[in-house]
């Protein structure tokens, strides 16, 4: 197998210096995106969200935000760990056959493209748009005596709407409960999950010009099943509304597809979607005419004439 490089002559694994020369812009961007994400995450919500507590007859006005506050079955650290480790294990296992430095390098970099982009996008949306989580009232613990006595006046018609200043609960939990939209866990799971599905599709030649065996379909779709399970569990735990999860999945899907096409020569084109790209040397597709989706195409390149990055 031949490897693609900036000058077309590098047919072996690059030295650390050569790799760093190619990769330093991405490494720097990772740091910048991480700093942006952490900065925005620690900011107070950009907008005040108003809510009702009681209706005119004294009943609970918004039961959709009155769920109990319970410990999440999938905490943030576990979601991040799964989103990173599961795809990495898949990439490593496939290197048993692929045996390609650039393939593994691009897979890791592309996964981080997808994950970091989704994470920063969702944290910005949480900060600007936000929303009340299903367990908001349980976390807020509104000052009921002040509301009933009328010493705390609300806003809107007949003073029915209140702001977070009426809350007496833990301030950190209240801040989190004000930022429901979109689901960050789901965005992370779908970004790396879809990237991994596209990677498996390319290596197994699932959607190609020949009929694959059934197990390949199951294996390729498992990462997406993980994303659906994480999103569904968040709804069950009362941490997100269904539309938060749908929005998070949408962000993950867009970033996953975008990241994959950034580091590989195609997304849906089975003739070249297994070929990793090197930044300084564009890949030419013209010689792929007539290439077939065989086992050789799956693991070793689409045709003997290809100048693959491996």
pLDDT digit string, tens, across residues 2-24: 344 444 333 568 888 888 988 99
Name the domain count of the chain: 1
Which residue, 91, 256, 107, 82, is CA-closest to 185? 82
Q: Is 141 among the domain residues? A: no
Indicate the average pLDDT of the chain: 83
Q: Is 163 among the domain residues? A: no
Which domain range does residue 35 map to? 23-48+74-132+178-284
Model confidence at 283: pLDDT above 90: no
Instruction: With beta carbons less than 8 A apart as the criterion, state whether 3 and 102 touch.
Output: yes
Collapsing DSSP to helix, strand or coil, 222 comes out as helix
* Beta-bridge partner residues of 252: none
Q: Which phi and psi angles does 58 have, rounded to 5°?
A: 95, 0
Say which range, 27-31, 207-211, 214-218, has the weakest mean pLDDT.
207-211
Instruction: With beta carbons less than 8 A apart as the criterion, state whether 278 and 7 touch.
Output: no
> CB burial class (10 A; 0-12, 13-18, 19+) of residue 273?
buried
Structure tokens at 88: 């990495």
Q: Is the dihedral of CA 284, 285, 287, 288 positive or negative?
A: positive
Q: Is 225 among the domain residues? A: yes
Instruction: With beta carbons less than 8 A apart as the criterion, state whether 203 and 310 touch.
Output: no
Q: Is 161 among the domain residues? A: no
């Amino acid at each position: 197998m031949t490897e693609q490089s900036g000058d077309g002559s590098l047919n072996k694994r690059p030295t650390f210096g050569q790799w760093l020369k190619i990769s330093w812009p991405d490494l720097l961007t990772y740091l910048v995106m991480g700093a942006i994400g952490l900065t925005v995450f620690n900011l107070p919500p950009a907008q005040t969200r108003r809510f009702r507590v009681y209706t005119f007859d004294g009943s609970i006005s918004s039961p959709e935000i009155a769920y109990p506050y319970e410990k999440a079955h999938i905490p943030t650290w576990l979601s991040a760990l799964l989103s990173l480790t599961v795809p990495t294990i898949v990439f490593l296992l496939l290197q048993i056959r692929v045996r390609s430095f650039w393939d593994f390098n691009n897979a890791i970099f592309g996964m981080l493209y997808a994950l970091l982009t989704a994470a920063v996008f969702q944290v910005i949306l949480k900060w600007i748009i936000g929303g009340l989580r299903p367990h908001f009232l349980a976390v807020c613990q509104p000052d009921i005596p002040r509301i009933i006595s009328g010493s705390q006046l609300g806003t809107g018609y007949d003073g029915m709407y209140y702001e977070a200043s009426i809350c007496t609960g833990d301030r950190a939990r209240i801040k989190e409960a004000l930022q429901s939209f979109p689901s960050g866990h789901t965005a992370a799971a779908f970004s790396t999950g879809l990237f991994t599905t596209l990677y498996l599709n390319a290596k197994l030649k699932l959607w190609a010009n020949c009929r694959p065996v059934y197990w390949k379909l199951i294996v390729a779709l498992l990462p997406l099943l993980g994303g659906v399970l994480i999103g569904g569990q968040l709804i069950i735990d009362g941490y997100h509304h269904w539309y938060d999860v749908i929005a998070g999945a949408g962000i993950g899907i867009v970033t996953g597809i975008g990241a994959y096409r950034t580091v590989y020569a195609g997304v849906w084109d089975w003739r070249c979607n297994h070929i990793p790209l090197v930044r300084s040397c564009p890949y030419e597709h013209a010689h792929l005419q007539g290439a077939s989706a065989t086992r050789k195409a799956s693991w070793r390149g689409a045709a003997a004439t290809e100048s693959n990055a491996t």
